[in-house]
Chains A and B, each alone.
Chain A
Amino acid sequence: MDDETRPGEAMPAPDRAGRDRASELTRMTAAELAAAIAGGQVSALEVTDAHLGRIDAADGQLHAFLHVAADSARAAARAVDERRAAGDVLGPLAGVPLALKDVFTTTDMPTTCASRILGRWRPPYDATVTRRLRQAGVVLLGKTNMDEFAMGSSTENSAFGPSRNPWDLARVPGGSSGGSSAAVAGFEAPLGIGTDTGGSIRQPAAVCGIVGVKPTYGGSSRYGVIAFASSLDTPGPLARTVLDAALLHEAISGHDPCDSTSVDAPVPPVVAAARQADVSGLRIGVVPELSGEGYQPGVLARFNEAVELLESLGAKIVEVSCPHFSYALPAYYLIAPSECSSNLARFDGMRYGLRAGDDGTHSAEEVMSLTRAAGFGPEVKRRIMLGTYALSSGYYDAYYGKAQQVRTLITRDFEAAFEQVDVLISPTTPTTAFPIGERADDPMAMYLADLCTIPSNLAGNAALSLPCGLAPEDGLPVGLQIMAPVLADDRVYRVAAAVEAALTQRRGGPLLDAIRGPAGLPAPVLPTTARASGHGGSSA
């Protein structure tokens, strides 16, 4: 994990089909694997073993996992095989392996939130998402790395060291769900689960070249998700294809009486939308506030190509201004830290986790302060103090109160925009993956990674990131963000699936095949015709 890595060194995809069966299994999509398991062409156990083998081979460099649960994963796979043998009808993801972010409670694995303050805590209960995955027959391979308590955009805030981007091991995989993203992009698992508070699913998905979705707030349960900012935290899927993300979205969603903010409404038809993959007649809005200065040229180039592609597929493109989006970042960095300062007060070293300084000379209050100083990393300390400041009497109206008003204005911007268009689009991130260490001690530079993703957290609507090509200047993936109204999650899948189909046809294969290793930057693999025409918008 601390081996020397040369800039540009990558973690290439496993060999193409035919060479070796285990490699072939790790390259398959979740939908393909589930069909093969249900059809008896392969056992769930063999699928799990293939992925455990890939983790053995790749995770020394990727460091996507904090805990690999090989024995319980094999047991879960065997249980699926036994159910099939007994003639049970298997669910659409039965036997498919998954990488679970270490923010979800699991009774049979440690749950650390990548923090020293929880140590090797073993929760006494499963999160609702964990429980639903188990019920669906999904095989939990282990728990993945993240920024401590989901605060960060790079996984560098993990107490256990950063994860690495499969495209370039010297770069971050994004964050905070960077471990799950690196695992999926690195073919250690076909599916991952993350949480998105300010972009923590979409941003890592974008910089790793995979699909990531923030469902409508309340669409997926927060029960058993260790709280960061409760009015924003949203669990969601990571996958290599839009259909796989939709299947996982459906598996974890739905009303949960254990979460009072869970939405009591039918799950939007996301799987049907992913299969529909049709944008003809759809009105799509481009947000000018999420573009321009400060954005990497290659990111804007790929985004503009995606806009042209959507138009060529029959969508109607219009520009829709959302004037308050430029205040989303400052509002978020008041609201989220305020909620975090309150939520993280529960870590007091009294009932579970770390306790420091309990040597008989210190009072309980001193032990709390010593425990929190020893157990939290710098970013968590910064945010707790920032939130404490924003909520102080005398500052409350000028900071937290004002940020809450901005939140109203951003929600109104979305409502006005969605009267004109069916979905909004933007780049997911202003830049591609940045080098490990570049922003580690510059909080404001790090916060900018969430510039485009934060508005949908503040308003609670659904948003998805889809890879839309590689930036020419660095050969790294670029994400296209698609945003839809509250509870219209199906629309982001419908648009993403159409773009994915057109791009895959143009490229002649999956984007992740462009990861080249062990040395040298990956090169874009557009067919010559598309490259010559600049955008190839008509090839689909």
Chain B
Amino acid sequence: MISERSGRATVQLRRLSDGTVSPLPQLGRHQPHSSPSLSWNARYLAVITQRGGRRLAVVADRLNGRMHPLPLPGGRAPIRLSLAPDAQQLALQVTDQGQWRVELLDLSSMLEPDRPPGQALSTPAVGADP
């Protein structure tokens, strides 16, 4: 969720089981933040940031600390976003010729899937019969 920190809209990740706030060192600046969206296990957090006076969608990978900026063609600015639960797609609301549009981006070449808890993997176990 977004909360005010030192007067700046900043994304905050709170663990629902115990209420603790998880650190997001990759997202400590580039405020204001808006439109946060999480993958299944909260490995990935997508959010709109502000850099150099322009809005930029980014995906933070909490497992390895990497940030993935997602610049839009034509320098368009994102307004809202939604990350697919497995983080393989992102939907972005943008403005195009005065109208709102929703555009889909395929992230499968950038991000490993964040699979739902308990989902069996298709890779056979070592030593398993073919």
Q: A and B: real partners?
A: no
Q: List chain B positions with a Cβ less than 8 A from chain A.
A: none
Q: List chain A positions with a Cβ less than 8 A from chain B.
A: none
